[in-house]
Structure 1
């Protein structure tokens, strides 16, 4: 893949913007509300254009995070109840809540140390609003594009967002188009798969066979399509590469060539990996594309973070790797959160405080690249991905339709059938 080839799209223009420019410079009036707090809502939308190509609801899907410390308990309860993310066996409904209760006080303290809550909601709302602003210009035939954010474990929950869509005139007999846009660039059944399972569940309950006269695909339901993965999109690669180059430039020239790059991604239980989950391979593809983009100039490794519980997880662990390198006198290290599209507790606490602030204390050469957050290159890449998807008239990628070799989940099978089958309505 010619990753250095020029891109016809808005992020090419954005790449000339100074990386140090404040994200607020790019705020549209529609998106400016993100600065007033984490818990904001999209403005009401009226969808009365049944049969036309617009308006289009753009639904950002992500894990989410508690916006305040008071929300931590509910967040953890939902997280540990999700067998797609943390499989605990037949006793999931008992073990999950127990683990959540035990961990809540500790995790509340961590969120308190990063400002009292996760910034992932404000960044997701900002990114979605700015992407929609660009799409209104570049894809007028599907405009207006209306931003929504649906989280798996925190407010705004998928259930509430689906109800909001119906309230805003999408579905419920009025038709309309919606795109589920995963904000996990690399697909995993534990992340994107779990979010789609939840979306499919609420679609069935609110406007499927459980909510109507028994029709599986009732007239006037939302027409869905899915952007299910984008691990090597050139705009994503350019955004990561520009942040790495910016951080490399902070090292003295005589040390710069020997800096070790550690790409860190959220780990997975080995039971999920051995089932055939594509996530490790897709994260590796992102890493290789980024390294190719910067010219393979530095030694690098892909490492994994955020292991939970005693079961085997994918390694090597980020913390263990940093500790090992420091013991070997390698103290110029850049941490790169390669599977995250914005800051949250894994970057602000786990990487910044636990690893850089404590484990690597006194070693000023251990640094982290800036997260993508409001990076204009990244946001224009989102718009390019969405525009290409809307023009393709595809319901999802061919890869999404293939189950993991060891998958036995009937829910996963039916969810994939549903979203793949939406192509007949697009």
Structure 2
């Protein structure tokens, strides 16, 4: 297959206060989420002036990729389309069609398998192409990259830097806590060829990052950003509950690393830099939050290498043992019942 474009696929976010409620309604469309819950999440966004950082982070990543592609003779024009806010993917696909693009490679800002983190992007692509109609370019999503050196190394560097800010005299009572977005237990335990991939990949990433950082502290994998109704079981423990448990066990300091994410978007800022940080302060825990990859040179190079895997037969780089593939099986990661909240 000859590819003639690259498109960044992301979640999207509001860029001014008037965008927030329309954006949230896009996120929860068809899920029966009450306005009271939207109002609560609305306040999270207003804490940051009604602006999510994710769109600017996508612009920064695209600019870095343009330079990386040029430096390595990857001759693909770059585009960007979102799931929930401008630029919407359907509009981007229409522009690609008008520019004469026929076959594009898509990179999603999520490293892991699972419905929301992988399969839904395939659905986004299909819906955008259907909306555009005849002439819509084909888009092949690049593979999951949870164990790629270009993803693991920036996280490892970040946790080492964060650990260095804590009191070395309390190293014996310091703990590394990895976090990722919680999902319903029913989604995490889906049957089929991809069942349990989300949690398995995160467990592997945590192990790889810890080993690469060569930290002399133990680690845990916990969850953040739960959003569903309380009667539906989600992955636990929540980061805040886990901090409580660690304090009870005599832990004095924590490094919190959001390995479930590629950039410091609003859920990272709100859940970790506000709520979890406040919980740690209340408990008297030393607290350091590790950065996400963002536009780390290794991460930017990783995206280019993923492209070259498909265009130039570049060797597939992987530090783990879990398999990844270019095209997901049709029956993997079934869509969840739409009963949740944002």
How would you bin the TM-score normalised by the shorter chain?
0.7 to 0.9
- 3-state SS in 2 of match to 1:392: coil
Separation of aligned partners in 2, 1:66 and 1:168: 27
Kindly indicate whether residue 19 of structure 2 is the aligned counterpart of residue 71 of structure 1: yes
Q: Show the counterpart of 2:319.
A: none
- Cα deviations by residue, 1:9-33 (Å, 9 ceiling, x for unpaired): xxxxxxxxxxxxxxxxxxxxxxxxx
Q: Show the counterpart of 1:246.
A: 161
Asked whether the equivalents of residues 239 and 377 of structure 1 are also in contact (C-alpha less than 8 Å), the reply is: yes
Q: Show the counterpart of 2:185.
A: 270
Matching residue within 178, 184, 189 for 2:115: 189
- Cα deviations by residue, 1:70-101 (Å, 9 ceiling, x for unpaired): 222222222223xxxxxxxxxxx3xx3442x2
Q: Show the counterpart of 1:312.
A: 233
Which structure's CA Rg is the greater one? Answer: 1
Matching residue within 271, 283, 302 for 1:381: 302
Count of residue pairs brought into register by the alignment: 322
Q: How does 1:213-362 map to 2 (within 5 A)?
A: 222-275=137-190, 276-295=195-214, 297-308=216-227, 309-310=229-230, 311-358=232-279, 360-361=281-282
Shift of 1:325: 1.5
Change (3 A) 1:289 1:358: closer
- 3-state SS in 2 of match to 1:302: strand
Q: How does 1:118-197 map to 2 (within 5 A)?
A: 118-138=52-72, 140=73, 142-143=74-75, 145-170=76-101, 175=102, 177-197=103-123
- Cα deviations by residue, 1:42-96 (Å, 9 ceiling, x for unpaired): xxxxxxxxx9x57x32211122222223222222222223xxxxxxxxxxx3xx3
Change (3 A) 1:404 1:329: farther
Asked whether the equivalents of residues 178 and 257 of structure 2 are also in contact (C-alpha less than 8 Å), the reply is: yes
Kindly indicate whether residue 126 of structure 2 is the aligned counterpart of residue 200 of structure 1: yes
Shift of 1:281: 0.9
Separation of aligned partners in 2, 1:167 and 1:108: 36
Separation of aligned partners in 2, 1:392 and 1:180: 17
Q: Show the counterpart of 1:116.
A: 50
Separation of aligned partners in 1, 2:196 and 2:274: 30
Separation of aligned partners in 2, 1:328 and 1:121: 40
Asked whether the equivalents of residues 280 and 287 of structure 2 are also in contact (C-alpha less than 8 Å), the reply is: no
- Cα deviations by residue, 1:275-326 (Å, 9 ceiling, x for unpaired): 1252111111111111121235321000011111221101111111012212
Change (3 A) 1:374 1:361: farther
Higher relative contact order (CA 8 A, sep 6+): 2
Q: How does 1:61-100 map to 2 (within 5 A)?
A: 61-81=9-29, 93=30, 96-99=31-34
- 3-state SS in 1 of match to 2:44: helix
Separation of aligned partners in 1, 2:131 and 2:283: 55
Asked whether the equivalents of residues 243 and 279 of structure 2 are also in contact (C-alpha less than 8 Å), the reply is: no
Separation of aligned partners in 1, 2:59 and 2:173: 38
Matching residue within 386, 390, 398 for 2:325: 398
Asked whether the equivalents of residues 192 and 228 of structure 1 are also in contact (C-alpha less than 8 Å), the reply is: no
Change (3 A) 1:408 1:381: closer
- Cα deviations by residue, 1:318-375 (Å, 9 ceiling, x for unpaired): 1110122123332300111101111122111111111103553473611211222232
Asked whether the equivalents of residues 14 and 50 of structure 2 are also in contact (C-alpha less than 8 Å), the reply is: no
Separation of aligned partners in 1, 2:60 and 2:333: 38
TM-score, structure 1 as length reference: 0.69
RMSD: 2.6
Shift of 1:381: 2.3
Asked whether the equivalents of residues 160 and 215 of structure 2 are also in contact (C-alpha less than 8 Å), the reply is: no
Change (3 A) 1:227 1:197: same
Separation of aligned partners in 2, 1:149 and 1:79: 18
Separation of aligned partners in 2, 1:132 and 1:297: 38
Gaps of 5+ in 2: 316-323, 337-342
